[in-house]
Amino acid sequence: MCKTKVSLSGNFHYLCFVSNKQKQRTIIFYRDYFQEFFERQRDKVKAKIIWTLEFLEELPRIPETYLKHIENTDGLYEIRVQVGSDIFRIFRFFDQGKLIVLANGFQKKNQKTPKNEIERALRIKQQYENDKN
Q: ∠ CA 45-46-49 to the nearest 5 degrees?
A: 85
Superfamily (CATH H level) for 2-132: RelE-like (3.30.2310.20)
CB 79 within 8 A of CB 67: yes
Residue 26 to residue 53: CA distance in whole angstroms? 10
pLDDT tens per residue, range 39-68: 999 999 999 999 999 888 888 888 888 999
Residue 35 to residue 37: CA distance in whole angstroms? 5
DSSP string, 8-32: ETTTEEEEEE--SSPPSSEEEEETT
Alpha helices for the chain (secondary structure H): 33-39, 43-58, 115-132
| Burial of residue 6, with CB atoms counted within 10 A of its CB: 0-12 exposed, 13-18 middle, 19 or more buried | exposed
pLDDT tens per residue, range 71-127: 999 999 999 999 999 999 999 999 987 788 999 999 998 888 899 999 999 999 999
